[in-house]
Structure 1
């Protein structure tokens, strides 16, 4: 039976979510009989957090130096869940030492991402990026529905995507992470740190972007960390669309998307960790509400054939997918190249806003 000892670097908000998902994967016996998985080591610079998480998940090895995990012969795979500035540093070190790597988004600068690709290609290790909405059943189902109903819906014309979230850098709210107020650590604000997920899904559902314009603004006395971004996008399939991304003081974390076709309209509202709602209407036919059970069952039957995967949430599903790619030797669904494309578009948005021009891709 294959052994898979996992190390976790960074056990704050996202690190804890991934630790919980790893442990759940083990407890549910998803890969029973195929692999023996163990959360073997945790690293974090904050000793209080380190000890708390290690005790909670009964992890035998703990250290304040993440590089010790990268070079350890006892570790087979590493999750990099540090603040953004350190993603490339630890991911590259782990890949160079032959470790499979799961690295949270955003990855870093464009040159850093290319260095990660070089490090991965120099060996045989897998590298998966934490673009978690790819594993959300609702987004997955919407992508499938748009493809399956292409003839009924007709050509895509327009998409409106809105994403608003309470300030993450206050240390409170739904995503407490005070380091996101520091440009040297986070690099950018809501568009880069948060709505990179939204851009990834727009590409998945609507296809590649041909050109774009953007307005990036700063309202909360943090001149380097934007809290408002509005993008105007032209897709290669002929559709146009907008993405609005906001950080603000209201206690809310919400997304909504509307897609307009020649013959139809589709709208969906994701849940926080649940499935949310999905409706569509074609011509004069009655409005169709897709039941959550239909979304969940179709997703599970397609994504995880032959595995004992219980209904859960997207973070758990992406953990299962990462483990499966290692155990079965299959490609990762969201590899570095896909993430690079999203990062390049986000950087083009900053350029478009800064130079007040339309950017062609």
Structure 2
């Protein structure tokens, strides 16, 4: 197979993580990096032995030696750069969330369709061993008809910058559009949408909060104007429901992991700090069973017996395999789009003080894309 040539735009913490992943894939050729901090771009290019570095992303869009652009920037920069790259004939891989608003996400999807190029969103939880096992159990019919799921995300005091981690850009609507829901919730909600089979959201209710104390100086510098906690309830076509709680910061012990229940069984995914993995709950012979899954044994076996299992080892592995035509691209863009619809629906419901429809969210969404 021909190696796929990649350019990464944004070489901060997330960009470096992407570069680390690419360095493990023999068919990923890193051609160029771009960052507004040219000195940082030069240093990263030297570190990863990348021949080209620049501070102008448009220089990369018309190079014939680049197959795909990887966008590793803050949320409100995703759409404008991704759209230009798609229009320039490049495949696009973008960090989560897909954009800063549902309207911008729709524009990205429409541009990808019109250009005939692939659009892939970084939803890392899809490649976790527990997600693969849960998908196999569900696809095998072991849960029966699915009817409810719970999405949970937890940090005790883990707000970016104000609690010591990350930069103020994560805490400002001007750059990030949202807080805990866009930063963490995207992983958990998209994971459940994937396992549920991408049901169509119909109605959304929710509330967002910013209640806990923070250091005064950090509050001033951060201009913290996003939520630290989001909660919601989503109703889908077919009667499926999903309840959500996503905390950057909360006075509470650790939450249990996300879960899905069906007519004949249920599964619970591990929480972030769990030492135990996926659990499977069912009744047989009038006996209730709570089973644990040997995820490591599953993973070893699947890698030995399935020729393309490596293509699901990470988001980057999957991206390169999809670009090469080895496996079809998972519907990450649609998953990210529906996750954006749900998250923005929670914001709108909190603002209006009532349940909202998916159509209302789409109609009232406005672009948050930054001008370049």
TM-score scaled by structure 1?
0.83
Alignment of 1:134-145 (within 5 A): 134-145=126-137
Aligned to 1:101: 92
Change (3 A) 1:181 1:294: same
The question of whether the paired residues in 2 share the 8 Å contact of 1:140 and 1:299 is answered with: no
Aligned to 1:288: 291
Change (3 A) 1:249 1:58: farther
The question of whether the paired residues in 1 share the 8 Å contact of 2:206 and 2:346 is answered with: yes
The question of whether the paired residues in 1 share the 8 Å contact of 2:171 and 2:224 is answered with: no
Residues of 2 paired with 1:64 and 1:249: CA distance?
A: 39
The question of whether the paired residues in 2 share the 8 Å contact of 1:138 and 1:270 is answered with: no
Query: Which of 195, 201, 212 is matched with 1:205 structurally?
Result: 195
SS at match of 1:328: coil
Residues of 2 paired with 1:235 and 1:83: CA distance?
A: 30
The question of whether the paired residues in 2 share the 8 Å contact of 1:256 and 1:270 is answered with: yes
Q: 5+ residue gaps in structure 1?
A: 32-36
Aligned to 2:316: 319
Aligned to 1:182: 172
TM-superposed CA distance for 1:82, in Å, is: 0.9
Residues of 2 paired with 1:53 and 1:340: CA distance?
A: 31
The question of whether the paired residues in 2 share the 8 Å contact of 1:161 and 1:255 is answered with: no
Greater fraction strand = 1
Q: Which moved more, 1:258-267 or 1:126-135?
A: 258-267
TM-superposed CA distance for 1:289, in Å, is: 0.9
The question of whether the paired residues in 1 share the 8 Å contact of 2:279 and 2:293 is answered with: yes
SS at match of 1:2: coil
TM-superposed CA distance for 1:276, in Å, is: 5.4
Superposed CA RMSD in Å reads: 3.0
Residues of 2 paired with 1:215 and 1:298: CA distance?
A: 44
The question of whether the paired residues in 2 share the 8 Å contact of 1:167 and 1:249 is answered with: no
Change (3 A) 1:301 1:254: farther
SS at match of 1:42: strand
TM-score scaled by structure 2?
0.81
TM-superposed CA distance for 1:330, in Å, is: 5.6
The question of whether the paired residues in 1 share the 8 Å contact of 2:129 and 2:295 is answered with: no
Residues of 1 paired with 2:184 and 2:263: CA distance?
A: 31
Query: Which of 118, 139, 155 is matched with 1:147 structurally?
Result: 139
Change (3 A) 1:239 1:164: same
SS at match of 1:325: helix
Aligned to 2:366: none
The question of whether the paired residues in 2 share the 8 Å contact of 1:85 and 1:186 is answered with: yes
TM-superposed CA distance for 1:24, in Å, is: 0.7
SS at match of 1:225: coil
Aligned to 2:13: 13
Residues of 1 paired with 2:331 and 2:324: CA distance?
A: 17
Aligned to 1:34: none
Change (3 A) 1:219 1:43: same
Aligned to 1:230: 231
The question of whether the paired residues in 2 share the 8 Å contact of 1:180 and 1:186 is answered with: yes
Listed one character per residue, the Cα deviations across residues 50-99 of structure 1 (whole Å, up to 9, x for unaligned) are 23322221111111122212222221211000111211121112111111
Residues of 2 paired with 1:73 and 1:255: CA distance?
A: 49
Aligned to 1:336: 333
Change (3 A) 1:270 1:49: farther
SS at match of 1:180: helix
TM-superposed CA distance for 1:255, in Å, is: 6.8
Q: 5+ residue gaps in structure 2?
A: 213-218, 359-372
The question of whether the paired residues in 1 share the 8 Å contact of 2:152 and 2:257 is answered with: yes
* Number of equivalent positions: 341
Aligned to 2:368: none
Residues of 2 paired with 1:249 and 1:125: CA distance?
A: 41
